[in-house]
Amino acid sequence: MASAPPDPAALLASVAEALNACEQAGIAVRLKHGAVITRNGYVLPVGDGQWGARTLAYSPFGDPGDIDEMDE
């Protein structure tokens, strides 16, 4: 039985969780260039010793389709 391909976003979230668990256990994690970068997304420090995963589709501005017309 073939298994489904892994979800890149879920895998990156797992990396972030593992790095957070290391920090909570007192194991300081420092990456050479500060982030884990893949073709599907990245994991980077988000402050206070915490790590967060983002997909390359992440946009801090949201989906423009969700915004009502501004020029009323």
Q: For residue range 20-65, what is the model confidence (pLDDT) as tens digits?
A: 999 999 988 878 778 888 888 889 888 888 899 888 775 565 555 5
Find the domain containing 37 and state its range: 8-57
How far is residue 2's CA from residue 24's CA, in Å, rounded to a whole number? 36
Give the DSSP H/E element, type plus range, for residue 16. helix 8-24
- Report how many domains make up the chain: 1
Q: What is the pTM of this model?
A: 0.63
Coil, helix or strand at residue 14: helix
Does 25 map to a domain? yes
